[in-house]
Amino acid sequence: MFNYLYADIVMMIVDPGIYQKAAAHMSGPIILTFAALMEIPILMILLSRILNYRANRWANVIAGAESSIFAAFTLSPKMPSYYLLFSSIEILCTLFIVWYAWTWRDA
């Protein structure tokens, strides 16, 4: 989860103009949507402890797939190499979560 934070902080330090340009084109509902998407990983920490087996498995599959897709949409050939590294790690980790949850056996 800190990977998301590190990627954004490094990007803001190195090129704050990218965030200023993006923010200028975002409405309140779009920002709320992105905020909700970013809350899913923290929510999964709690849900994976309290949900029953079946619900936990599907929540991890769905949240992992959503997080992978979200990270993939942020990729661009114009992005700096460090951002591509952060995004690649995010995608690999969330795809591993999907695979791991998919292959769980009922306890």
Domain boundaries, the chain: 2-102
pLDDT digit string, tens, across residues 54-88: 999 999 999 999 999 988 988 888 888 888 999 99
Q: ∠ at Cα 72 (14, 22), nearest 5°?
A: 45
DSSP tag of 107? -
What pLDDT is recorded for position 107?
Answer: 63
Round to whole Å and give the CA distance between 91 and 100.
14
Round to whole Å and give the CA distance between 77 and 37.
23
Round to whole Å and give the CA distance between 43 and 26.
24
Round to whole Å and give the CA distance between 38 and 32.
10
Share of the chain above pLDDT 70, in %: 98
Mean pLDDT of 97-103: 95
